[in-house]
Each structure stands twice: as structure tokens, then as C-alpha cells.
Amino acid sequence: MRKTKSVLLYLIAFFLIGFISSCNNDALDVQEEAQIVPTLKGTVLKSATDRMGKFNYFRAKVDAGEDISRELYDYAMDMEIPNVINTPDYEFMRNQILGTILNPDDYNCNNSTIPLNDYVNNSISQWTDLDYIYYVFYSYHPQADAIYFKEPGYKKYKYGVNGEFTNQLNRTFKDLKRFWNINSSDIYMVPLSGSTYLNFDRLVEIEALYYPSQSDEENEFYAQFVQDLFGTETYWNYNHPLFSFNAFALSTTNSFIQDRIVMGDGILMGYAAIGLDDVAPQAILAHEFGHHIQFENGYFIDVAEEDQPEATRRTELMADAFAAYYLTHKRGATMNWKRVEQFLEVFYNIGDCGFDNPGHHGTYEQRLAAAKWGRDLASNSWPKGKILTSEVFYQLFEATLDDIVNCDNCLTEME
């Protein structure tokens, strides 16, 4: 069991990715589901029968006293499916918690000092091997709910287990739409929450969506099963942060899924636990809104596979700069830079030296340099308080990107 816990952060990788299929239950009839869902199935979970067979396989190993950690991790990775929806931060967010980064000589990418690690580790300190298996196989419902079922524009969504971040996020989202000169009328914000498990009918719908070969009785069986399973103290009565430890922007040409920003209760809880609840919600949301600026203005570019890490780094550093500009601007969030910087040092502290990873976001030094560049642009605006258009901001960022990328020793110069 100790070995399994030692690699839990690797196992979480799968869950924070989620199961993505491209449809909206409210808009699709059964025939359309039958046509779309199977083409998006993962390489492993192709049927409910396969799911149960694999579950029993791992459970038998646990009963036999075998260590399942590495094999369960490999299986979870095989369960990934094609990323048919443009969600630039969906997969990477897990890496900030997992520590699945490299350690090249040029950078010190050490995740041992991430304050959130203690919070995550404490949240699963009592888990058994079987708890991990249940989590691997059955924790996909909140992600599915947020992506495919949450109604855009609904006015009564709450953010945080007790709604404690609701006003904070709603105000910031409205203000971001005012601040940036893009067409944001069709961009929505929705919560990612373990409370999905309280909605039996929604659980049935999700089971039917992901496993169209299951009967109605089987869908209801699994819905009741996960509702009973996760409504226990082990999983914090549906509120375990790992059900929703993510935040991401989503855009797609699929008419069944509206553009949205998904804000997870779990990640908000984590930052609140380490004393950053006054800045983290706004900062995370501002970063994700930056991606929607890129979506709207066409700043994502198609590149060859071998160039994807560099392309992803470019858009992530740009989103970091967009966020810092808004957060510190006199007509934006008007936040104190030192407080914003304290959050960013945690948010970026893991660094990212996975230079060959398609999801490469940039190193700690590069990301903080991009944010400080955005801060300086806000503080040096002329005339005072002038808000740059997103197009002008983009042009200035592109002109300075090389300096940001090669800024290994420049941070002290930017204080």
C-alpha cells in the first residue's frame, strides 16, 4: 500500500484528464449518440464488460497482496482518449500536482516544495489500494458533467463546496468580458464539482453517454454504485478535491458544446487551504480567459508534431501575460503585484522542464517572466489607465517572446 501511495500523484494524471467524448446530452438524441460516442472511445475502456473485467483483475491483485501501482498507472494512461476538444490546460493542470516533469541540467524542476503537495497528500493519506482502483475506474462523472451537461448561462451555479467562491468568480468573469475587446458573449463559465454525484439522473445520463451498449438497468446500477461509493468519508461525501482539481478553457467547433471555462472546486479548495483564496480564483480565471482571447483571435497555430512543445509554450506564456496584465491594471482587477506574485510563485513553482512534451507550458522562470512583462505593460501604459486591445497586446508579446523564453537570469532585473 505504501508503494501505491508513493505514486498516487502519477495515478491522478488520468483522472484530471477525464474521459472526453464530443456531445451534449441535451442536444443529442440516441441515434446521434450512437454515431458519435464510439469513435471517441479510449484505447482500453471500449465496453462496460471490459471495465468490469479490468477492475476485477486489479482487485484480485490487491487481494493477493501484489503491488499494483505501476501497472494501474500504465492502465490509466492507456485509458486516455483523443483530445477532440481544444482544452489547452486540461491535461497540464495535473502536471502541476503530479510532478511528472524532467530535470534537465539547465533548470531545477523539483516538485518537492510545492505547497499544494501537502494538501493533496493529506487528502489521500488514508486511502487503500482499493480506494485508488475505485477512483481510477469511476471518477469521471464530474468532468463529463462540466463539459457536456452543464447548461451555459445558468445563473445559479455555485463555485466552491459551500459556494464561497461564487461572487468572487462571477464578478471577475463579468469584468474580464468588459476589459478585453473580444466577442465574449458566447463564452460561459461552469463549475466542476463532486456534487455531480448527488444527481442520480445525471449519473445515469453520463453512463449512457460513455457506455451506449449498456442497458438502462446497467446505467442505473452503476449510477447507484458510484453514488453510494463516493458518498463516504473516504471521498469526503462527494467533495474530495481530486474529483475537481482542475480548471481549463474549452473551445470547439462542435455545435453541441458551447465555449466555456470550467472552474473546479478542488483546485479552489487547494489554494484556499494554503492561504491564497483572495487571489487564486481571479488569477486562474484570468489565465483561462486568456486562452479564449487566443481562440477568438486565432492565435493558436497548427504546427508539426515535433514543434508542438514550443507552440504550446508560446500560447501558455501568452496567457500568463494576459492574466498578469488584467490582474494588475488600474482598470482591471487592480490587485497588488506582490500578492499576485505570491500566487504565481506557487502556481508556477513546479516549473515545466518537459521540453519534448506536447503540453510544455514553459519553465518557472519563463512563466514568471511572462507575467512580469504583462505587469510592466500594465503599469507603464500611456496614457495612464489605457487598456490595450488584445491585438496590440498580442503584437507586443510576439515581439518580446524570445526575450521571455531566454530569460534564465533576467528575473532579478525585472523586480
Per the structure, how many domains does the chain have? Answer: 1
Backbone dihedral region for residue 153 (phi beyond 0: left; psi -120 to 50: alpha; all else: beta): left
The three grid cell numbers given for residue 234, joined into one nine-digit string: 473516504
Q: Is residue 233 scored above 70 in pLDDT?
A: yes
Give the pLDDT band of residue 22 (cuts 50, 70, 90): very low
* Predicted local distance difference test score (pLDDT) of residue 360: 54
Distance CA 101, CA 215 (A): 42
| Digit-coded pLDDT (tens) for 101-142 | 223 333 345 444 567 778 888 898 899 989 989 988 899 899
Distance CA 254, CA 263 (A): 21
Tell me the pairing of strands 247-250 and 260-264: antiparallel
Q: With contact defined as beta carbons under 8 Å apart, do 344 and 75 qualify? A: no
Residue 308 pLDDT exceeds 90: no
Phi, psi of 326 (to 5 degrees): -65, -45
Q: Which residue has the higher pLDDT, 6 or 316?
A: 316
Question: CB atoms < 10 A from the CB of 55, how many?
Answer: 15
The x, y and z cell numbers of residue 200, run together, are 442520480
Distance in angstroms (rounded) separating the CA atoms of residues 274 and 347 = 12
More confident residue, 143 or 413: 143
Whether pLDDT at 353 is above 80: no
Q: Grid coordinates in use for 336?
A: 497588488
Residue 207 lies in a domain: yes
> Looking at residue 4, what is its pLDDT?
42
Question: What's the confidence (pLDDT) of residue 77?
Answer: 63
Q: How far apart are CA 322 and CA 377, in angstroms?
A: 10
The answer to which of 69-78, 123-132, 256-265, 308-317 has the lowest mean pLDDT is 69-78
For 354-376, the DSSP string reads: -TTSTT----HHHHHHHHHHHHH
266, part of any domain = yes
pLDDT tens profile 78-101: 665 434 345 555 554 444 433 322
pLDDT at 409: 58
Assess if residue 284 is contained within a domain: yes
Within a domain: 128:
yes
Query: Please, where are the H alpha helices in 164-240?
Result: 166-179, 200-210, 216-230
For 186-218, what is each residue's pLDDT tens digit? 999 999 999 999 999 999 999 998 888 889 999
- For residue 415, tell me if it sits in a domain: no
Nearest-angstrom CA–CA distance, 85 and 70: 29
Does residue 152 register a pLDDT over 90? Answer: no
* pLDDT value at residue 346: 80
Nine-digit cell at 98? Answer: 503530479
Among 4-8, 55-59, 367-371, which is the least confidently predicted range? 4-8
Is residue 63 one of the residues assigned to a domain? Answer: yes
Q: Is residue 414 part of a domain?
A: no
Sheet holding 260-264, edge to edge: 188-192, 260-264, 247-250
Would you say residue 399 has pLDDT above 50?
Answer: yes
Domain that holds residue 166: 2-409
